């Protein structure tokens, strides 16, 4: 059995791998209109899934990087997510936090919003961190639905 210290350090290593994946994928963003390149990676059930923002000439069809990563996870059968890393551009310093729509979609698959980690970075190494509950307090989870 691993000690709490070991668990914490392996969790930190997992988060660093998540951040590295978000940074690595960011250049693949399809953002010819905004020129705002975003990479995202989500952690769930021991696996990493990544995505980029995909824009469209019909502007309203743009998909954010976070939601692209989430759909990749769900398509692989992974629906219990515990962290997301988002990489925006160096010029966007401090790094941007996820938009409201993405926060709500993250909430859908967050195993626990109070411990779900949201890490925003840029390729220069700037970093901001929150829990999902901090970014989306009193969230709508669907628990109220009949
Ligand atoms: N974008 C994301 O990918 N994630 C966010 O959380 C905020 C915005 C994208 C959408 C669009 O392609 C570009 O950034 C500018 O809004």
2-56: per-residue pLDDT in tens? 677 877 777 888 999 999 999 999 999 999 999 999 999 999 999 999 999 999 9
pTM for this entry: 0.94
Q: Three-state secondary structure along the chain? A: CCCHHHHHHHHHHHHHHHHHHHHHHHHHCECCCCCCCCEEEEEECCEEEEEECECCCCHHHCECHHHHHHHHHHHCCCCCEEEEEEECCCCCCCCCCCCHHHHHHHHHHECCCCCCEEEEECCCCCEEEEEHHHHCCCCCCCCCCC
Of 67-76, 88-97, 103-112, the range with the lowest mean pLDDT is 88-97
User: Is the CB of residue 69 below 6 angstroms from any atom belonging to ligand 1?
Assistant: no
Q: How confident is the model at residue 93 (pLDDT cuts 50, 70, 90)?
A: confident
Nearest-Å Rg of the Cα atoms of the chain is 15
- pLDDT value of residue 11: 84
Q: How far is the CA of 3 from the centre of ligand 1 (A)?
A: 39
Q: 122-146 pLDDT, tens per residue?
A: 999 999 999 999 999 999 999 989 9
The stretch 98-114 carries a mean pLDDT of 97
Residue identifier of the C-alpha nearest atom 14 of ligand 1: 36
Q: Is 62 in the pocket of ligand 1 (CB under 6 A)?
A: yes
Q: Write the pLDDT tens digit of every residue in 77-92.
A: 999 999 999 999 888 7
Is the minimum distance from the CB of 19 to ligand 1 under 6 angstroms? no
Q: Using alpha carbons, select from 92, 35, 97 the residue that is nearest to residue 62.
A: 35
What confidence category does residue 1 fall into, taking pLDDT thresholds of 50, 70 and 90? low
Which residue's C-alpha comes closest to atom 2 of ligand 1? Answer: 64
CATH no., domain 4-135: 3.40.140.10
Q: Give the pLDDT of residue 5.
A: 81
Q: Can you give the pLDDT at residue 12?
A: 84
């Amino acid at each position: 059995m691993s000690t709490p210290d070991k668990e914490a350090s392996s969790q930190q290593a997992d988060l660093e791998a998540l951040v590295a994946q978000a940074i690595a994928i960011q250049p693949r963003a399809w953002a010819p209109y905004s020129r705002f390149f975003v990479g995202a990676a989500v952690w769930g059930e021991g696996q990493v899934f990544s995505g980029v923002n995909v824009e469209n000439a019909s502007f309203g069809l743009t998909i954010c990087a976070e939601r692209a990563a989430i759909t990749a996870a769900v398509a692989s059968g992974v629906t219990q997510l515990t962290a997301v890393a988002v990489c925006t551009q160096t010029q966007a310093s401090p790094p941007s936090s996820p938009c409201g729509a993405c926060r709500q979609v993250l909430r859908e698959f967050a195993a626990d919003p109070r411990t779900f980690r949201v890490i925003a970075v840029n390729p220069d190494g700037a970093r901001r961190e929150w829990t999902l509950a901090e970014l989306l307090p009193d969230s709508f989870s669907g628990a109220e639905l009949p």
